[in-house]
């Protein structure tokens, strides 16, 4: 490492401070897994993570309850323009069955994720949420169902939802427009995230690493946006091309860059809940283990019925689509242990006073 880089690194690690061009250097320099820079950042990230969360890894039970979507995002496999997808919707009873099984396995957070599917009106969502809430008083209910009005978000919250995941995808307007059709804008996404915060949700934002046209400057802008938003969770994973999308031939996001971003995020956001994502596990056999070592502290295995797993294909070759929830839990427990951490039965709330 040259002297300039060493000074930038020391300042970042000791004072959590860097200007935009320094951040860009921290993001893109010497990305290999065993470079000196990678190791220093990873060890610092792990130290911070352990000082706050110990060796605990939180699990979230992901229930992908609909793959219908009214949007046509260029990167996503379940975009409405993909006519080759077999579409499915889970009934309330099927969703509750996933929760029952998940609860028994030790899950204390359920994440209901789906495309933006207008079949599920606010009343239906509220009914599902309040049914889960009545059955399980000690779980966190997370929704991840896209952009809605503030009134809708308020109604879900009143019904018993506590958290909401809505990745911002990219905080640069121009880049946002290159990933989405013209109906979708970063401004709207941002407004939704602030509305969610105002209502009192624990909020998760995040972005894809290595999405088409992404520059290092875009990643710096993502970090700055996150500093402004101060979300409780930050979900990042590599972009993975899907054949039936306009980005079929685009390059996949890198393992090393994703790991680097995780370490930088842990250092800049010590308290954040950082998932080691399924996308990371998809591009490398030990992707999720490496993610945990780089600073992540959450994993989100799938609780959806095996029969529909393959159909929720945001990207190709998604892992864990053939495994029962119980198998996934055992497999993940081993993986997490091999990485030097342990899965806990806990809601896994963020360890800071919610602002
Ligand atoms: N590769 C990686 N991640 C993707 N997502 C959607 N499509 C892809 C893809 N092709 C991510 C988006 C979305 C989250 C649910 O999945 O960031 O917010
Ligand atoms: Fe699902 Fe390993 S985590 S099979």
Please give the pLDDT value at position 323: 84
* Residue labelled with tokens 């889970």: 90
Q: How far apart are CA 119 and CA 137, in angstroms?
A: 27
What is the maximum alpha-carbon separation in the chain?
61
- Pocket-testing residue among 289, 291, 328, 339, ligand 2, by greatest number of atoms within 8 A of Cβ: 328
Residue 2, classed as helix, strand or coil, is coil
Is 209:234 a contact under the CB 8 Å cutoff? no
Is 231:268 a contact under the CB 8 Å cutoff? no
Q: What ligand 2 atom has the least distance to the C-alpha of 302?
A: 1
Taking the CA of 205 as reference, the closest ligand is 1
Which value, to the nearest 10 degrees, does the dihedral of the CA atoms of residues 279, 189, 166, 162 take? 170
Taking the CA of 243 as reference, the closest ligand is 1
For strand 298-299 and strand 56-59, is the pairing parallel, antiparallel, or unpaired? parallel
Pick left, alpha or beta for residue 309 (phi over 0 → left; psi -120 to 50 → alpha; otherwise beta). alpha
Q: How far apart are CA 267 and CA 294, in angstroms?
A: 10
Alpha helices in the chain (DSSP H): 3-15, 20-28, 36-53, 92-105, 122-135, 150-159, 173-179, 186-199, 216-229, 255-268, 278-283, 287-293, 306-309, 325-338
Q: What residue ranges line ligand 1, CB within 6 angstroms?
A: 75-76, 167, 169, 208, 237, 239-240, 242, 279, 314-315
pLDDT by 10-residue block (mean), the chain, 355 residues = 96 94 98 98 98 98 98 98 98 98 97 98 98 98 98 98 98 98 98 98 98 98 98 98 98 98 98 98 98 98 93 94 89 96 96 65
Q: How far apart are CA 134 and CA 170, in angstroms?
A: 37
Q: How far apart are CA 152 and CA 133, in angstroms?
A: 18
Please give the pLDDT value at position 353: 58
| Ligand 1, atom 18, residue with closest C-alpha | 167
Would the CB of 344 count as within 6 Å of ligand 2?
no
CA 282 to mean position of chain CA atoms = 14
- Pocket-testing residue among 184, 204, 237, ligand 1, by greatest number of atoms within 8 A of Cβ: 237
Please give the pLDDT value at position 352: 83
Question: Environment class of residue 88 by beta-carbon count within 10 Å: exposed (0-12), middle (13-18) or buried (19+)?
Answer: middle
Q: How far apart are CA 152 and CA 172, in angstroms?
A: 26
Please give the pLDDT value at position 354: 47
Is 221:195 a contact under the CB 8 Å cutoff? no
Which tens digits make up the pLDDT trace of 315-331?
999 998 988 898 989 99
Q: What ligand 2 atom has the least distance to the C-alpha of 322?
A: 4
């Amino acid at each position: 490492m040259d002297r300039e880089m060493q000074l930038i690194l020391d300042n970042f690690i000791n004072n959590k401070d860097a200007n935009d061009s320094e951040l860009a250097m921290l993001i893109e320099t010497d990305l290999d897994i065993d470079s000196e820079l990678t190791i220093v950042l990873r060890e610092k990230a792990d130290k911070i993570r352990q000082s706050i969360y110990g060796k605990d890894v939180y699990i979230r039970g992901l229930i992908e309850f609909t793959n219908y979507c009214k949007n046509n995002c260029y990167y996503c496999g379940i975009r409405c323009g993909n006519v080759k997808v077999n579409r499915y919707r889970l009934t309330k009873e099927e969703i509750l069955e996933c929760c029952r099984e998940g609860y028994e396995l030790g899950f204390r957070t359920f994440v209901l994720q789906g495309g933006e599917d207008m079949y599920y009106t606010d009343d239906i969502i509220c009914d599902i949420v309040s049914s889960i809430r009545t059955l399980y008083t000690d779980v966190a209910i997370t929704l991840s169902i896209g952009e809605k009005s503030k009134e809708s978000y308020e109604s879900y919250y009143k019904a018993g939802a506590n958290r909401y995941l809505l990745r911002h995808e990219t905080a640069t307007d121009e880049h946002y427009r290159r990933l989405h059709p013209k109906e979708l804008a970063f401004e709207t996404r941002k407004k939704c995230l602030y509305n969610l915060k105002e209502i009192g949700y624990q909020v998760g934002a995040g972005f894809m690493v290595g999405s088409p046209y992404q520059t290092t400057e875009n990643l710096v802008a993502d970090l700055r946006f996150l500093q402004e938003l101060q979300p409780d969770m930050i979900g990042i994973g590599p972009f993975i091309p899907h054949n039936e999308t306009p980005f079929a031939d685009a390059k996949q996001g890198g393992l090393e860059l994703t790991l680097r971003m995780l370490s930088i995020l842990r250092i800049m956001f010590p308290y954040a809940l950082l998932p080691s994502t399924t996308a990371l596990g998809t591009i490398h056999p030990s992707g999720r283990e490496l993610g945990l070592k780089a600073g992540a502290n959450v994993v989100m295995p799938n609780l959806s019925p095996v029969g529909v797993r393959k159909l929720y294909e945001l990207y190709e070759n998604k892992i864990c689509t053939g495994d029962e929830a119980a198998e996934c839990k055992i497999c993940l427990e081993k993986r997490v242990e091999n990485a030097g951490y342990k899965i806990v039965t806990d809601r896994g709330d963020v360890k800071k006073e919610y602002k």
